[in-house]
Chain A
């Protein structure tokens, strides 16, 4: 099974700052089938990025994904108040479709 390790566990930043979240896979992710989700309290996760760098329609362009193979990054260009949430990466290149343990983005 592919284990996804996200870092940092918690990221404390201020609105307007840039956020960089990391997701490292224990083995190469097939076809770079790596997704990023945002989850706010009491809500289902929301898909932001798929196939490592493709942004879902309607997601603001301050969200961008990069990386390939085993190292992936989610960057949020200028943080808005509504961006403070928990972010998960997930690989869906093959079963089991594992998730990372999450990065909590909190207001500093």
Chain B
């Protein structure tokens, strides 16, 4: 059974760095062509793709966030980490992680999401 779960702070201050962890089970981050993508959704708004990382460490980021966003993984812990620097109130959103596969893969498995609020 594939599961993903996001964890991290619910509140961050402007200019701080957000670190979120996606802990996965039911698959291995070391399996060929396996990966995790991050998506966010501001309250009442649409989904926004942020980036992904694959088992071979291939990464891709949204152009609008590329200068602030880093996605990394710890295969031994079955975790993928999102780091977003210089947080702003517009970054307030529910952050989701989802499993993907290389070679064209829709997002069939999602975490429950975690709401992060940016406020002083």
Contact = CB atoms under 8 A, between A and B. Distances in A.
Interface in A39-74: 39, 44-47, 50-51, 56
B97 to A, nearest CB: 10
B49 A99 contact: yes
Given A44-B96, A95-B60, A96-B60, A90 B46 contact: no
The A interface is mostly helix, strand or loop, or mixed, namely loop
Interface string B57-92: 000101100000000000000000000000000000
A30 B103 CA distance: 11
B6 to A, nearest CB: 10
A93 B104 contact: yes
Contacts of A47: 106-108
A31 interface: yes
30 contacts: A1-B63, A30-B104, A33-B104, A33-B106, A35-B106, A35-B107, A37-B107, A44-B96, A44-B112, A45-B47, A45-B96, A45-B110, A47-B106, A47-B107, A47-B108, A50-B108, A51-B104, A88-B46, A88-B47, A90-B49, A90-B106, A92-B105, A95-B52, A97-B37, A98-B49, A99-B39, A99-B47, A99-B48, A101-B46, A102-B46
Given A44-B96, A90-B106, 6 more contacts: A44-B111, A92-B100, A96-B62, A96-B63, A98-B49, A102-B47
Interface of A: 1, 30-31, 33, 35, 37, 39, 44-47, 50-51, 56, 88, 90, 92-93, 95-102
